[in-house]
Amino acid sequence: MRRFLVCALVALAGCRIEHAASGRPPGEPTAVDSLAQIEQDSALIAGVQAALQLHYQRYAARDWRAFRRTFWPGATIGMRGTPPGERSERVWLRTVDEFARRQGEGQGRASVIGERVVHMHVTGYGDVADAWVIAERKAAVRRDSIRMVRGIDAFHLVREGTEWRIVSLTSTPEDPAHRLVLPTRRPARRATTARSGETKSSP
């Protein structure tokens, strides 16, 4: 028995575990590998980003007819609010038509006079995508009360053909006790001229 254990240890010592380029042992793809590929789909990400930039432009322009076209029919918008006839805030789900109608009638809390996307993170697969957006809005209840509001907009989108539209949007304002931390921007690369006259980039 002792001789068998010694031989087994010697055999294991000579073994080497090989890993694929992804860092996992070679073999069939796993769910983790699939998620990694989702993160690398640049065409999907670009399409979703373009659709959402159009959404924000139309919202800031208060063009409610065009705004509705960035959503699929029956899409929902959810956030904390006070529905008509109620006195306290709660989670309030509305269709995009209901939301646009109330905004168009001036029943929103404040008028948005400017909006900027600070950061957008997109994931997706096939014709389904999710996006978390940090957005800043200049809002005013009155002309003399302009304030900057930052929050998270969480989108779920579906693509039909080449067109991405929103199925649902959930928004929440920034929590003063847990400020949103923006991703660090990479420093810009500056151009330098080599001795041969060719232009090179340096960090």
Q: Which tokens hold the place of 40?
A: 């690398």
- List the beta bridge partners of residue 192: 200
Tell me the pLDDT tens digit for each residue of 131-170. 999 998 776 656 666 777 888 999 999 999 999 999 999 9
Residue ranges of domains in the chain: 38-173
**Residue 139 pLDDT:** 67
- List the beta bridge partners of residue 115: 137
How confident is the prediction for the chain on average, in pLDDT? 77
Cα separation, 34 vs 39, in Å, equals: 9
Q: Is the pLDDT of residue 193 over 60?
A: no
Question: How far is the CA of 60 from the CAs of 5, 53, 66, 134, in angstroms?
Answer: 73, 11, 11, 15
- List the beta bridge partners of residue 78: 93, 170
Question: How far is the CA of 78 from the CAs of 20, 47, 96, 156, 167, in angstroms?
Answer: 43, 24, 10, 12, 11
Residue showing tokens 């948005």:
112
CATH of 38-173, one of 3.10.450.50, 2.40.50.220, 3.40.50.300, 3.20.20.30: 3.10.450.50
Tell me the pLDDT tens digit for each residue of 91-104. 889 999 999 988 87
Closest CA to 58 of 120, 119, 103: 103
